[in-house]
Amino acid sequence: MKKMDVSRRQFIKSSSVLAAGAMVAPYVVTSHAAPVSDLKVRIGLVGCGGRGQGATWDAINAAKEHGIKDCKVVVVGDVFEEKAKGFAANENIKAAYEFGFDAYKKVIDNPEVNYVILATPPGFRAMHFAYVTEKGKNCFTEKPVCVDSATARIFLKAAEESVKKGMKVVAGTQRRHQQGYQETIAQIQMGAIGEVLDMRCYWNQGAIWNYPWDINKSDMENQLRNWYHYLWLCGDHIVEQHVHNVDVCNWVKGTHPVRAYGMGGCEALKGPNQIWDHFAVEYEYADGTRMYSQCRQIDNTDANVSEYVVGTNGSSNPSGNITFKNGKVWRANQGRNPYVQEHMDLMTAIAENKKVNEAKQVAESCITAIMGRESAYSGRKVTWEDIIEGSQELMPENLVDMNSPIKPWKKPETVSYELSE
């Protein structure tokens, strides 16, 4: 295993910081190039479901926290008219609305919109983000940002372009904006627990929501309304949900794994679903460090949503504490609600023209999760290149209306990868 490059000076600094329990700098350092309170925030929302509405309120609250007076929702869009219309009519929103598969273009094209929120099911994200990038607007994008090789490539390309354009992009991996994580991971990266030996991460919970198939609706509509259970829309729960925990481990390491070796299955979930209900994956980083990952959605099982980092001098729950070998415990400060903080950070970056672009980093964590999924589905070791150069393309070709055909779905067992060694 490669030695971690931590100088003695850094380590001593880190240890004394820990001893004093002092704060590290927050994620976006403010320098007051332009007062954020002067910002005009003009929100355009794509995807008016639970998170889209939640993220919009979070952005409105973030503006209030910043003392921004000029913040409004200009237009909201959804594939279903009733969803867009319903949120647009909210008495505290009162926005225009668009609907249909091309609603995203109309929202993003709206000349007044300068703050795009993307919150549809994950399958559409790469296409939507590529369009935001084409238009060069600042963006809050929910995770996941890709579900297969094709969308991974589309998103990565757009991510690169968005950096070139100087776009400010924050992703819905909100732990990156949570003070407890920020302080703890800063300490780990400065060597507080010594060399990182391995990491564990979990998202184990009960069964997820699941709507019954309605024979009076088209296949497309049934799948859209129950999107979690279809691979092209969701990416499976290892991608949709567990990406949060995988992202924390990638953050600790400052990179992504190169290989996954996993297993899983579908024990309890019944219905016309395509997703599995449990995965266990061993990931390997280029320097040999391992990340052991579990995720499960099965009722009457023990819940656990967390991450752990084990080092040569101690261990850490990176959400906010470090336990040293001598048994002493250090705890980080816990700040504001990260769902609001992430919008405050994006607004600060826009106002002060700071380089904040999380597109690549969130894509890498999503690709990590896809790599684990494909390893479990196939029973093979799957590499980073297998995914980013792969041929998997789940999205239907012509998304026009609720009668548009869906691609035939291959059972995971039929997906095959070459043994990578």
Ligand X SMILES: NC(=O)c1ccc[n+]([C@@H]2O[C@H](COP(=O)([O-])OP(=O)(O)OC[C@H]3O[C@@H](n4cnc5c(N)ncnc54)[C@H](O)[C@@H]3O)[C@@H](O)[C@H]2O)c1
What token pair was written down for 81? 């008219």
Min dist. Cβ of residue 378 to ligand X (A): 24
Phi, psi of 34 (to 5 degrees): -150, 140
Nearer to ligand X, 79 or 252 (CB): 79
Question: How far, in whole angstroms, is CA 303 from its chain's centroid?
Answer: 21
CA atoms within 13 A on the CB side of 233: 19
Identity of the residue, 129 or 330, whose beta carbon is nearer to ligand X in the bound complex: 129
Sheet holding 329-331, edge to edge: 329-331, 321-324, 314-317, 304-311, 196-205, 290-297, 278-284, 259-265, 381-383
Nearest-approach distance from CB 288 to ligand X, in angstroms? 31
When the beta carbons of 131 and 330 are compared against ligand X, the nearer one is 131
Alpha helices in 136-189 (DSSP H): 149-164, 179-189
Binding residues vs ligand X (CB under 6 A): 46-52, 77-80, 83, 101, 103-104, 119-122, 124, 142-144, 172, 174, 224, 240
Q: In what order do the strands lie in the sheet with 41-46?
A: 96-99, 71-78, 41-46, 115-118, 138-141, 169-171
Nearer to ligand X, 82 or 112 (CB): 82
> Which residue, 104 or 181, has its beta carbon nearer to ligand X?
104
Residue nearest to ligand X (CB): 49
The strand ranges marked E within 124-258 are: 138-141, 169-171, 196-205
SS3 151: helix
Closest to ligand X by CB, 79 vs 394, is 79
Shortest distance, CB of residue 67 to ligand X, whole angstroms?
25
Decide whether 124 or 377 has the Cβ nearer to ligand X.
Answer: 124
Tokens 């990952």 belong to 293
Residues 253, 189: Cα–Cα separation, whole Å: 8
Q: Which of 186, 169, 162, 178 is nearest to 356 (CA)?
A: 169
Q: Is 60 helix (H, G, I), strand (E, B) or coil?
A: helix
User: Smallest distance, Å, CB 395 to ligand X?
Assistant: 10
List of residues 6+ apart from 21 with CB closer than 8 A: 330, 331
> Taking the complex as a whole, how short is the minimal distance between the CB of residue 338 and ligand X, in angstroms?
9
> Looking at the DSSP assignment, which residues form a beta bridge with residue 265?
278
Smallest gap from residue 56 Cβ to ligand X (A): 11
- Nearest distance from residue 83's CB to ligand X, in Å? 4
CB of 84 to ligand X, least distance (A): 8
Q: Which is nearer to ligand X, 103 or 340 (CB)?
A: 103
Q: How far is the CB of 90 from ligand X (least distance, A)?
A: 14
Decide whether 143 or 153 has the Cβ nearer to ligand X.
Answer: 143
Q: Which is nearer to ligand X, 82 or 418 (CB)?
A: 82
The residues, ordered by sequence, that sit 6+ positions from 316 with a Cβ below 8 Å of its Cβ are 184, 187, 188, 192, 193, 308, 309, 322, 323
Distance (Å, rounded) from C-alpha 190 to C-alpha 183? Answer: 11
- Shortest separation between residue 224's beta carbon and ligand X, angstroms: 5
DSSP 376-411: HHHTSEEEHHHHHT-----S-S---STTPPPPPPPP
Token code pair at residue 194: 């010594």
User: CB 98 → ligand X: shortest distance, Å?
Assistant: 9
d(C-alpha 140, C-alpha 347), whole Å: 10
Pick 155 or 261: Cβ nearer ligand X: 155
